[in-house]
Amino acid sequence: MADINSETIQKILDLAAPTITSVTDDKGKAAPFSSKQLHQVKVAPPVLPDTVKVSTLAGFADLVKGKLDSKEFQGEFLIHIVDEDTVRLIARASDEHGRRQVLMEAHPMSFQQFPLDRFMPQEEFLIKAAALIADGNDKAYIMRMAAGLTSESGTTLTDDGFTQSAVVKAGLKLVERLDLKPMVDLAPYRTFPEVPQPVSSFIFRARTEAQPMLALFEADGGRWKVDAIATIRAAMAAFGLEIPIIA
């Protein structure tokens, strides 16, 4: 086998090079054609700076205020409230590579949310409702009803598909039958703890097994998320950051 030297390699490379030919059509218009498909060689875009992450709206505002003295900063960015748990400081315009810089981003610290759409034993329901739902609205009512439910008297629950009637403890010995409100207004912790939690409607249900079982089902079609975004926007506006806010 003959040795392959640099001259042979160069000849192979020359053969591989595309040739450009001018071709004239039947109307006498000439156009260049290549014997091979050509691809533009693009330089890799520079790496964008890392996004600064914070866990409070106040921390987000402090970082923004720290940059406001920079002339390059003013007018270059927007505050974007993405959803109920994401706020970003983004560039107004994308760069030459079509990328929009995210300078800062705020997410609340991870926290446990009230478990919806499942029945829980009486004690678990009471503990989670006490810890994971903000005070006010119908919280006191569901706590009182949940604590008073009893299954000691045989069948204690009737249900017409909308309103439920249950036996509730009224004292040390006395029990009474009361109708449970089918819809309650509550404010579970679902967004940044710095802002008022959005209030929404829930279906309050109970059933009897070995012990009373209770559940809450979301009944506002996700409207609370819109309210949460509006609340966050008002909170950001109150910081007086002089940067446009979009939501």
Residue 112 has pLDDT above 70, yes or no: yes
Q: Tell me, yes or no, whether 115 lies in a domain.
A: no
The fraction of the chain above a pLDDT of 90, given in percent, is 45
Residues 127 and 186 in one domain: yes
Q: Identify the band that residue 161 occupies on the pLDDT scale cut at 50, 70 and 90.
A: very low
Residues 215 and 184 in one domain: yes
Segment among 63-67, 72-76, 114-118 with least mean pLDDT: 72-76
Give the number of other CB atoms < 10 A from CB of residue 14.
Answer: 8
Residue 43 has pLDDT above 80, yes or no: no
* Cα separation, 135 vs 214, whole angstroms: 19
Q: Tell me, yes or no, whether 46 lies in a domain.
A: no
Who has greater pLDDT, 210 or 196? 196
Q: What is the dihedral of CA 71, 74, 75, 81, to 10 degrees?
A: 160
According to the model, what pLDDT value does residue 159 have?
41
According to the model, what pLDDT value does residue 203 have?
94
Q: Identify the band that residue 127 occupies on the pLDDT scale cut at 50, 70 and 90.
A: very high
Residue 69 has pLDDT above 80, yes or no: no
Q: Tell me, yes or no, whether 73 lies in a domain.
A: yes
Dihedral sign from CA coordinates of 215, 220, 221, 226: negative
Residues 100 and 128 in one domain: no
Burial group, residue 25, by CB count within 10 angstroms (0-12, 13-18, 19+): exposed
Quick one: how far is CA 246 from the chain centroid? Answer: 16
Q: Tell me, yes or no, whether 43 lies in a domain.
A: no
Beta strands 212-218 and 120-121, pairing class: antiparallel
Q: Coil, strand or helix: which one is 9?
A: helix
Residues 95 and 154 in one domain: no
- Non-local (6+) Cβ contacts of 117 within 8 A are 215, 216, 217, 218
Entry pTM: 0.71
The fraction of the chain above a pLDDT of 70, given in percent, is 80
Segment among 71-75, 223-227, 240-244 with least mean pLDDT: 71-75
According to the model, what pLDDT value does residue 68 have?
57
E strand or H helix at 51, and its extent?
A: none
Residues 241 and 149 in one domain: no
Instruction: Give me 169's structure tokens.
Output: 């403890």
According to the model, what pLDDT value does residue 171 have?
42
Q: How many domains does the chain have?
A: 2
Q: Tell me, yes or no, whether 5 lies in a domain.
A: no
Residues 179 and 233 in one domain: no
The range of the structural domain enclosing residue 132 comes to 120-220
Residues 124 and 202 in one domain: yes
Q: Tell me, yes or no, whether 13 lies in a domain.
A: no
Residues 96 and 142 in one domain: no
Give the number of other CB atoms < 10 A from CB of residue 5.
Answer: 8
Residue 188 has pLDDT above 90, yes or no: yes
